[in-house]
Amino acid sequence: MLQQYSFQEGRLVRDSSGSPKISIYNNPDNTERTYLIEQCGLDEHTLASSTDPDETPRIEFEKDHAAIIIKYPKNYSAEDNYFFHVKSMGVFLFPATDAIIIVLKDEHFVFSPSRLATFHCESVRDVLLRLLSQIIRHFEDHLRTIKLTSDELELEISGSMDNRNLQSMFTLAKGLVYYQNALNGNQRMIERMKSTSGRMIGFSQENIEQLEDLMIENQQFLDQSKIYYQVLGGLLEARASIINNNLNVMMKNMNAIVIAISIPTFFTGVGGMSEFTALFAGKLSWYFAYPLFCGVMIATALVIYWLIQRAYRSQ
C-alpha cells in the first residue's frame, strides 16, 4: 500500500505536490516491488531486506541514492504475550530529486495522522534525522514499559506457586536481547552514516551535530537495555527460588494437615464404632456422645497440626 506525503510550509501533509516528497510503501505487492526495482532503481536484495525482521542495519550507496536499513520496535499488543519484537524498514534517499522512499511491513508506522502537525522538516536529510529520532524515542518508551512490566511480574511472583509469571520474565529477557541487537546495529549504522556524511547524502554541519546527538541518545538506551537485561537475568534465579520456596511451604502445610487427620482417624479405626457404643451404653445418650467424640477428634487434630507447625518454625 502506497502513502504519499510532502512538506508544505515546513509541515508534513498527505499530498505529493510539495517538497521534499515522501513515499511510504507498506507491505508492497509484486506490482509495487517491480516499480521500485525497475523505475526507481532499487536493488532487489536491499528491497527484500527492508521487510526482513532479521536483517542487519546498514547503509549502502548506489548510483543515485543511498539505501539504509533501520531496526525499530514493533508496537506492542496483548497478543505478543510479553514479547517485544523488532522490525526492519528500508529508507531510500534521493538527494538529487529531494525525494525519499520508505519500505516496511507495519500497519502502525510512525507517520501516523496524529503526528503530522508536529512534524517539521525542510529536506530529505531532516526527514531521515527525524525518523531516526522517533525510532530512538520509540525504543525509550518500550524500555520504560519493560521495566514497569518487570516490576509488576516481580510482585506477582512473590506470592506465586506456578511458572507462568516466571516464563513471562524469561520472555521479557528474550525481548531485551533483540532490543540490544537492534540498538547496537542502529548505532553502527549511524556511526557509518556520520563518517560518510559527505558522500551522496550531503549532511550539513548542523545535520552532523544532530547525528552526534542521536548517537549519544542511542548509546544511552543501548546501555539502559543492557542494564535491564543484567538485572532481569540476575534476579530470574532468585525469583525461581521464591516459587520453589512457596511450593515447599504449601507441601509442608499439606503434610501437616494429612498427619493431623490421620492420627485421630487411626484411633477411631482401631476402636471402631461398636467399642465406642459399648463404652457409653447406659451412661450417655448417643446425641451427646457422638458430638463429644467428634469434638475430641477435631481438637486432637488441631493440637497435632499446631505441634507440627511449631516444629517447622523451629528448624
Asked whether 76 and 179 are in contact (CB, 8 A), the reply is no
Give the distance from CA 276 to its chain's centroid: 66
Please tell me which residue, 233 or 32, carries the higher pLDDT value: 32
Q: Tell me the per-residue pLDDT of 228-272, one tens digit each, with 9 for 90 and over.
A: 888 877 766 666 666 666 667 777 777 777 777 777 777 666 655
Reply yes or no on whether the pLDDT at 184 is more than 90.
yes
CB 138 within 8 A of CB 74: no
Mean local confidence (pLDDT), 293-297: 77
User: Which CATH number is 2-244 given?
Assistant: 3.30.460.20
Q: Which residues of 10-35 are buried (b: 16+ CB within 10 A; e: fewer)?
A: eebeeeeebebbbbbbbebeeebbee
**Is the preceding omega at residue 20 within 30 degrees of 0, hence cis?**
yes
Q: What is the pTM of this model?
A: 0.72
Minimal CA–CA distance to 102: which of 75, 77, 130? 130
d(CA 201, CA 225): 31
Higher-scoring residue by pLDDT: 271, 215: 215
Q: What is the pLDDT of residue 130?
A: 86
Beta strand segments in 95-142, E: 99-104
- All three cell numbers of 254: 499439606
pLDDT of residue 114: 45
pLDDT band at 219 (very low <50, low <70, confident <90, very high): very high
128 pLDDT above the threshold of 90 = no
Give the distance from CA 229 to its chain's centroid: 12
Please list the alpha-helical segments (H only) found in 41-119: 44-49
As a whole number, the mean pLDDT across the chain is: 79
pLDDT tens, position by position, 62-72 = 888 889 999 99
pLDDT, one tens digit per residue, over 154-180 is 777 666 556 677 777 788 888 889 999
**Per-residue pLDDT, 110:** 56
CATH 3.30.460.20 range(s) for the chain read 2-244
